[in-house]
């Protein structure tokens, strides 16, 4: 996903991309469909600000029942590019993760790696589908009873452990 920046005048520009996980080297998750990237580029002097929205649908495995379910994700983020002659030295000392220094004669900006990173950040650590009134909408089981039994076993194991000592 490359955006041509040479010859841009000050102002707002809009770009839309359609891609898939193969394009950005993510193999760990199944994508139901392509994901979509909407970019608003604002150029002001030697600064370029990209407001990016990524959305799509993933197929995840439920952590409770191990069934597959569809997870819709949307991630919005901002990247700032500053044009400078000493861009290489400035990137070495850069403490801001979303600010990049580029050569003032750069032809294009590649946002593929940033989009990939933000997609990976949008995948939840706990992969569970929605629930309503304590019932999982995927498997229709009561969630509170599924985990209550595990807590009772843990308490019994802890009591046995304390008796041994």
Asked if 42 contacts 49 with a C-beta cutoff of 8 angstroms, the reply is: yes
Burial 46-78 (b: 16+ CB within 10 A, else e): eebebebebebebebebebeeeebebebebebe
Among all chains, which residue has been given the structure tokens 């996980």?
A: 21
Integer CA distances (angstroms), 54 to 94, 114, 159, in order: 25, 11, 49
How confident is the model at residue 10, as a pLDDT? Answer: 93
Q: Two tokens at 115?
A: 């989009």
Rounded to two decimals, the pTM is 0.73
How confident is the model at residue 4, as a pLDDT? Answer: 93
Domain regions of the chain by residue span:
2-128, 130-165
pLDDT in tens, the chain (165 residues): 899 998 889 999 999 998 877 667 666 555 556 789 999 999 999 899 999 999 988 888 888 778 888 888 899 999 999 888 775 656 566 667 778 888 888 899 999 888 888 888 888 888 888 788 877 777 777 776 665 454 455 566 666 666 665
CA–CA separation, 29 and 21 (whole Å): 8
């Amino acid at each position: 996903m490359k955006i041509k920046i040479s010859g841009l005048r000050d102002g707002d520009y809009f770009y839309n991309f359609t891609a898939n996980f193969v394009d950005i080297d993510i193999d760990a998750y199944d994508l139901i469909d392509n994901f979509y990237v909407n970019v608003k580029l604002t150029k002001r002097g030697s600064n370029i600000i990209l407001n990016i929205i990524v959305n799509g649908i993933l197929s995840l495995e439920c952590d409770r029942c191990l069934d597959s379910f569809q997870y819709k994700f949307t991630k919005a983020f901002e990247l700032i590019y500053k044009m400078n002659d000493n861009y290489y030295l400035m990137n070495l000392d850069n403490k801001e993760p979303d600010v990049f220094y580029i050569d003032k004669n750069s032809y294009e900006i590649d946002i593929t790696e940033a989009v990939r990173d933000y997609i990976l950040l949008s995948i939840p650590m706990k992969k569970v589908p929605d629930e309503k009134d304590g019932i999982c909408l995927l498997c229709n089981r009561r969630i509170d009873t599924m985990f209550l039994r595990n807590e009772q076993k843990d308490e019994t194991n802890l009591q046995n452990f304390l008796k041994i000592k």
